[in-house]
Amino acid sequence: MSSIWIENSEMEDKRKNVAIKLQTIHSRLVCVCVCVCVCVCVCVCVCVCVCLKKGNVVLQNTRSHSSSDVGAVDAGIVGSGGQRNSKMSVLGVSSLSRCGLLALRSPAGVAVRYAQTAAAPVAQPRIKKFQVYRWDPDTPGDKPRMQTYEIDLNSCGPMVLDALIKIKNEMDPTLTFRRSCREGICGSCAMNINGGNTLACVLKIDTDISKPSKIYPLPHMYVVKDLVPDMSNFYAQYKSIEPYLKKKDESKEGKEQYLQSMEDRDKLDGLYECILCACCSTSCPSYWCIADKYLGPAVLMQAYRWMIDSRDDFTEDRLSKLQDPFSVYRCHTIMNCTSSCPKGLNPGKAIAEIKKMMATYKEKKAAAV
C-alpha cells in the first residue's frame, strides 16, 4: 500500500517536470491549446484517468527492471526510475495531442482529481424531535409539562447529552439537567430516555426521525427542577451501609497496603465499577413502592462488595444489619436493575448472593446458639 502512495507522488513530480519541459518547447502550442481547453474540460478529466493508468503500468514495468539491480540504493532506483519514467511518460503524453494540455494543466488536473475525491454533497437536514419533561417550581403556578424541541442531527453530536447541551446553548437556556464527565463515568446525567434509565452521555440518539425522543427524569424520584432528581434519600441509604473498610485491628492503619490474593481481588470485579448513577434503583418497582425502607439494588450491590472484600473484618455485622424484612427481602428478582445498568453490571445477582450469605449466616448463628 505504501509503495503505491510513493508512486503517486513520483507521478506528480514527474508531471511537473514534464510540464516545465513542455512549456519551454511547446510554448506556442500551449497558447493555442488554452482556448481549446475550456471547451473540452470534461474530456480532459477522462484523459487524466486514462493517463494515470497508463503511467502506472509504465512505472510498474520500470520498477520491476530496476529492482533486479543488485546493490542499488533506493534513492538511485527512484532517480533512475523517475528519469526513465519521465521519458516514457513524455512519449505517452505526446502521443495524444490533448495530453500536452494535460501536462500543462497537471496542477489543475491534480486539483480536479482532488476535487473529485474530496467534495461531499451538502446533506439534507435531519430534524429529530425531543420531548423533554419541564417543571420549574420557582415560577409560581407552574405545572409539569412536556416541551418539544427540534434538533438537526447533522449539526449535533451522536449522544443524547450532546442534544440536550445544544438545546440549552441555542434554544432554551432554562433547561436544567445534571452533567459532568460526558463519558459515562460520573453518573450525573442519569435520566429516563425513551422509557429506559441510562446515562444521557452514553446513549446514542436514535436516528429514526419519524419518532420523537422522550426524556424524563429518573422515575419515582422527587424532582428538584426539570430533569434534576432529588438524590438525598439515595445517598443517605448508601451512607447507612457504611461503605468503607472496617478492620478489627486498626493498629496497622496507614502503614502499608492490606494484602489480598488475586482470587479475592477477582471477586470484586463487576462490583467496584458501580458509579452510583441510581439507574438500577429507580427502575426497580419494589424501590418505587418502599423507597425509604428498601435499600435498592445499587446500595445492596455496594453492601455485597464490602461483605466479600477479604480485607474487611466486619462481614457478619454487615449481614446482621440487613436482617429485617425490608432492607433486602423486598427484592423479588424482577431484574429490571440488571437490564438498565449503563455500565453492564449485575446488581440482581449480587442481591441473590447476599440472600445466600444471609441464609448461611443465620444457620451458623443458630448452630452457635
Specify whether the CB–CB gap between 7 and 56 falls below 8 A.
yes
Specify whether the CB–CB gap between 345 and 301 falls below 8 A.
yes
**Binding of residue 239 to other proteins (CB under 8 A):** no
**Binding of residue 222 to other proteins (CB under 8 A):** yes
**Binding of residue 195 to other proteins (CB under 8 A):** no
The per-type count for the chain, helices as H runs and strands as E runs, is 14, 7
Beta bridge partners of 132: 147, 215
3-state secondary structure of 284: coil
One character per residue 95-134, x = contact with other proteins (rule: CB under 8 A): ----------------------------------------
**Binding of residue 140 to other proteins (CB under 8 A):** yes
Distance, in Å, from the CA atom of 17 to the CA atom of 5, rounded to the nearest integer, reads 19
**Binding of residue 137 to other proteins (CB under 8 A):** yes
In angstroms, what is the minimal distance from the CB of 137 to other proteins?
5
Grid coordinates of 297: 439494588
Q: Is the CB of 143 or the CB of 248 nearer to other proteins?
A: 143
Distance, in Å, from the CA atom of 77 to the CA atom of 65, rounded to the nearest integer, reads 10
Q: Is the dihedral of CA 279, 285, 286, 292 positive or negative?
A: positive
Q: Is the CB of 137 or the CB of 285 nearer to other proteins?
A: 137
Specify whether the CB–CB gap between 214 and 195 falls below 8 A.
yes
Q: Is the CB of 222 or the CB of 326 nearer to other proteins?
A: 222
Q: Is the CB of 143 or the CB of 255 nearer to other proteins?
A: 143
Q: Is the CB of 183 or the CB of 230 nearer to other proteins?
A: 230
In angstroms, what is the minimal distance from the CB of 208 to other proteins?
34
**Binding of residue 230 to other proteins (CB under 8 A):** yes
The DSSP H or E segment spanning 215 is: strand 213-216
In angstroms, what is the minimal distance from the CB of 178 to other proteins?
16
Q: Is 203 exposed, middle or buried (0-12, 13-18, 19+ CB in 10 A)?
A: buried
One character per residue 142-171, x = contact with other proteins (rule: CB under 8 A): -x----------------------------
From candidates 71, 141, 173, 195, binder to other proteins by CB under 8 A: 141
In angstroms, what is the minimal distance from the CB of 276 to other proteins?
19
In angstroms, what is the minimal distance from the CB of 223 to other proteins?
8
Cα 229 from chain centre: 26
Q: Is the CB of 139 or the CB of 261 nearer to other proteins?
A: 139
In angstroms, what is the minimal distance from the CB of 193 to other proteins?
24
Beta bridge partners of 229: 223
CB count within 10 Å of CB 2 equals 6
Amino acid sitting at position 192: N
- What is the contact surface with other proteins in residues (CB under 8 A)? 137, 140-141, 143, 222, 230, 232
